[in-house]
Structure 1
Amino acid sequence: MKIIHVCETIIGGTGSYLSEVIPHQVERYGAENVALLIPQTHMPFVEKSILDSGARIFTFARPRRLSGSIYLSFQYLRRLQSFKPDIIHAHSSIAGVIVRSLRMFTRAPIVFCPHGWSMDMKGSRAMLRMTEVAERVLGRLPDQIVVISAHEYQRALDIGIPTSRLTLIPNGIANIVPAVAPAPWDDDRIKVLYAGRFDYQKGVDVLMRAVEGLDDRLSVRLVGDAASGNRVLPAKLPACVTEVGWLDRKGVTAQMMSCDVLVVPSRWEGFGLVAIEAMRLAKPVIASAVGGLQEIIDQGRYGYLVQPEDVQELHDRLLELDREELRAMGEIGHNRYLSKYTADRMVRQLDDLYARMLLTSLPAAAGAGTDE
């Protein structure tokens, strides 16, 4: 089986997802049979596990997002001819639009994974309505849409995508923690970690407003950088906040090992992979009640939920944090991770889906070869 993963960006959750999927697929199908198409400028963000796997990596120019989409289209068509994939797996909205719109150029089954529906983004009502219509139309073009949370599944049903096109495969991460020592973080205050992009979706600006006045109680670290949209951090950070910058997976894990709690203040979220990365380490999570985060935390049973963009509620939750309670919640969250969000389960489900799709496509392919 030859598989190509097509991405308009690999920064953030998509890259973490592929760092679990691609090494497994290389081991199962061979390095020569697994390929990844990404922007050239995103090569520094490719996870080491992907690079070490030996999977083939193709790149395209991405000087700007719009022109990058044109380059992606040309490179995608080129790789259809040179790589000849049996399965095409497109990730996130822009790559999904391109691969689905060019459906007529391949007989290979197409999988699309939104990694968060574009119609869940903040925007005008007219724009969101147009996005819903576009997704309804495009939703009938791929052979299967892999949704990573029950929230994504329900949103697809809400806009009229048929259940026959949908497969729910919740995200997962390996139960083997990267071999790394905890990051130095010597502070008597409660240690709060944020790990993600510094853009509007992720709500890091909400966290900055919420920690105002808590300098004596909290030590806050920000791991990440802006990857899409404008950087939303204030020019002057609160006194209790330290900006660490972008780190690789081992670096993020080291910071998580040292923190008391992870905060995920997203405005919208298809899943929220960073939350289960923390739960794997038995670290408690405070998250916005949006998208897949609500399922991960299960309405507050396995972590703390606050309303999105509610600065006062997040401030009050941070003010009330107690280390003993945090440790107890961390253990509860760890059990949740083990029961529901391991990578072994995720990659097996994806293997099964690919196999079913290929089996279904065989009669059509055989019939096509006999046309006169």
Structure 2
Amino acid sequence: MHVAEYASGGVATYLKNLIDEQSKNNNINKIYLLCSSNKSDLDLLKFKSEKVEVIKYKYTRSLKGIFKLLMLVPTIKKKKADIIHLHSTFAGLLRITLSLSGYKKKIIYCSHGWAFNKETSLLNKYTYMFIEKILSSLCNRIINISENEADSAKFINKKKMVTIKNSIPDIKLVERNNFEDKCKRLLFIGRLDKQKGIDILIKAVNKVNGKHRKRKIHLSVVGDSILEDSIIEKNNTKEISFLGWQTSNNIQEMLLNNEALVIPSRWEGFGLISLEAMRAERMVLASDAGALPEIVRNNYTGLIFKRNSIESLEKILECFLNLSSDELKKYGEHGREIYIKDFNYTHLIEQMNKLYYEVAKSE
């Protein structure tokens, strides 16, 4: 059983891909997904296999909502799953009530980005670390999705920890755009909140475009707020288009119809969308937050800039504006090369199956 809070964005993609693969495994008889009916990407989380059952619960992130989340134990127990896989920080709190209920099934936890790595006060940071340290004793194993995540959680018992780097299955994408106009096309995909740095990006794009009369960057923004915490006004202009959330198929098309993806995150557990761009042979402009420098190789698959810095991002955007089509193509080819070599999805599935087997057989 997979349990998530809001199954959206990268977490939804992770779950969709993982459950699709698990449904093909003859050693797995039934798969349950328990997730909020509110703000989960339920279109993405549709499965063809009869093995998969999606169970939705009513939830909004609040004290009342968290209490409801913690009270899901009877629903979990009823399904009698052999392994419970908890996804993200709030779902991870279920370790408390599962433990208090005397539930004896095996529990795996993945934070999908540690809360203590967020941009927050020292008090909050150490509070999150203390909570995760305590809760780590209430599960069998903990998955880190990057080396950066693993390094930052060294205070947790290393015997509990395993690093399984995020990845995505390979698909064939057909190039259709020659990009013959003078406008450089840049794509942003993500929530319109502080973490994702959309406010910095909008300011930097406007500044760079203000310096040039003929050459411009056109920015397409895919996504919206999740928690009603958007930090920008969504005003379409000639140079910036707000497109809202899009289907997975539409996002693949948009990657092909833009010359680069930009990820201006202030903090990031992994950044799965960077792999989607590299898979599609697209250059990536990324901040140095979290695991992004593990994925995006500076001056090889893309360009890295300093997180939370408009000036640093401006310099990178100027570089992007001046790149030739051949240079952009080379960055994209390198990105696909690294994706195939270092982020093979088959390897993720092999590691996950091995972990499930070990946990199932453990005392």
TM-score (norm 1): 0.89
2:86 to 66, 86, 90: 90
Assess, with a 3 A threshold, how the Cα gap between structure 1 residues 181 and 66 changes in structure 2: closer, same or farther: farther
Listed as ranges, the gaps of 5+ residues in structure 2 are 210-214
In the alignment, which residue of structure 1 is the partner of 2:204? 210
Tell me the SS of whatever aligns to 2:334: helix
Cα 1:183–1:69 shift into 2, 3 Å = farther
Name structure 1 gaps, 5 residues minimum.
Answer: 362-372
Q: Tell me the alpha carbon deviations over residues 58-116 of structure 1, each in whole angstroms, 9 at most, x when there is no partner.
A: 111114433222222223x1223221010010001000122355224321111100100
Question: In 2, are the aligned partners of 1:207 and 1:265 still within 8 Å (CA)?
Answer: yes
Determine the structure 2 residue equivalent to 1:137: 134
Q: Give the 3-state SS of the residue equivalent to 1:211 in structure 2.
A: helix
Please say if residues 180 and 254 of structure 1, whose CA atoms lie closer than 8 Å, have aligned partners that are also in contact: no
TM alignment of 1:322-333, pairs within 5 A? 322=323, 323-333=325-335
- Aligned-partner SS, 2:187: strand
The equivalent residue for 1:115 is 112
**Residue 8 of structure 1: how far off its partner (Å):** 0.7
Distance 1:263 1:109 in 2: 39
Residue 315 of structure 1 is matched in structure 2 by 314
Q: Size of the alignment, in residue pairs?
A: 353
Task: Give yes or no for contact 2:8–2:41 (8 Å, CA) kept in 1.
Answer: no
Indicate conservation of the 8 Å contact 2:264/2:307, yes or no.
yes
Higher helix share: 1
Counterpart in the other structure of 2:165: 170
Counterpart-to-counterpart distance in 2, 1:88 and 1:238: 47
CA distance in 2 between counterparts of 1:194 and 1:53 reads 32
Q: Choose the corresponding residue for 1:200, options 180, 194, 200.
A: 194
Task: Check if 1:280 corresponds to 2:279.
Answer: yes
1: CA distance between counterparts of 2:24 and 2:127?
41
Cα distance, 1:342 vs. partner? 2.3
CA apart distance, 1:30: 7.7
Distance in 1 between residues matched to 2:131 and 2:288, nearest whole Å: 26
Q: 1:153 aligns with which of 150, 154, 169?
A: 150
Distance 1:350 1:80 in 2: 21
| Counterpart residue number, 1:344 | 346
DSSP-derived class of the 2:71 partner: helix
CA distance change for structure 1 residues 153 and 100 in 2, over 3 Å: closer, same or farther? farther
Cα distance between partner residues in 1 of 2:74 and 2:29 = 17
1:169-248 aligned at under 5 Å gives the runs: 169-177=164-172, 187-215=181-209, 216-228=215-227, 230-234=229-233, 236=235, 239-248=238-247
Q: Give the drift of 1:46.
A: 4.2
Residues in 2 aligned to 1:225 and 1:56: alpha-carbon distance in whole angstroms: 28
Report the AA paired with residue 331 of structure 2: M
1:346 maps to a residue whose letter is L
2:305 counterpart of 1:306: yes
TM-score in terms of structure 2 length: 0.91
Q: Would you say the 8 A contact 1:182–1:254 is kept in 2?
A: no
Question: Contact (CA 8 Å) 2:70, 2:97: kept in 1 or not?
Answer: no
Higher mean alpha-carbon deviation, 129-138 vs 274-283, is at 129-138
- What corresponds to 2:212 in structure 1? none
Aligned-pair identity in percent equals 27
- In 2: Cα distance, 1:278 partner to 1:15 partner: 17
Residue aligning to 2:123: 126
The residue identity in structure 2 corresponding to 1:256 is L
Does residue 1:103 correspond to 2:105, yes or no?
no
